[in-house]
Amino acid sequence: MPRPRKSRLLPSITTYTEELVRTIASEFKKALLTSTESLQGELKELRRELGRLERRTEKFSQPRGRGGRPKSHKTCTVRGCGQPHVARGLCKNHYQQARYEEKKRDMGMSVRRRSPGPAPVPEGSTATAAAAPPPRKRAAKVARARKHSKARAARA
Ligand SMILES: [Zn+2]
């Protein structure tokens, strides 16, 4: 049975090519092996590092449930709230609310005024004027027109 792969006319070239391919392949394999080895080494190192990190993280995260702020079984003192207590007998929502109102009060502002009081009276105007504001724009326009006509009369 003849071997169809090998040409009888160019056996040397074929063998040369085959040899070349084999050489390249082996070189390639070697290079690959080397890089794989180095990669494996790096991977090993990384794994070790990761393990160290994991252990450290565990150390930090473990006491979370036990340490820190002790859990209280108190609830919010606001009637009908029933949320877990956070501070000053309040839940987190009501505590935040209280803090907010305090802050506003400190800044001299009133909070949570449901019905708006009388509108602030602008400076320099009486209460009646504020109640019925004059058509200022129009008045100014008229005054300007009057002045303009006066100037024209003076020129003439
Ligand atoms: Zn509450």
Q: Are residues 15 and 33 in the same domain?
A: yes
Question: Residue 38 domain-assigned?
Answer: yes
pLDDT tens figures, 17-36: 788 888 888 888 888 888 88
Q: Are residues 50 and 81 in the same domain?
A: no
Rounded-to-integer distance, Cα 150 and Cα 148, Å? 5
Range of the domain at 89: 72-111
Using the mean position of ligand 1's atoms as its centre, give its distance from the Cα of residue 102 in Å.
Answer: 16
pLDDT exceeds 70 at position 134: no
Using the mean position of ligand 1's atoms as its centre, give its distance from the Cα of residue 101 in Å.
Answer: 15
Using the mean position of ligand 1's atoms as its centre, give its distance from the Cα of residue 89 in Å.
Answer: 9
Rounded-to-integer distance, Cα 74 and Cα 83, Å? 9
Using the mean position of ligand 1's atoms as its centre, give its distance from the Cα of residue 93 in Å.
Answer: 6
Using the mean position of ligand 1's atoms as its centre, give its distance from the Cα of residue 82 in Å.
Answer: 6
Rounded to an integer, the average pLDDT of 54-70 is: 68
pTM value? 0.28
Q: Give the least confident one: 48-52, 53-57, 139-143.
A: 139-143
Rounded to an integer, the average pLDDT of 37-58 is: 86
Using the mean position of ligand 1's atoms as its centre, give its distance from the Cα of residue 103 in Å.
Answer: 19
Q: What pLDDT is stored for residue 129 in this prediction?
A: 45
Closest to 97 (Cα-Cα) out of 115, 84, 111, 107: 111
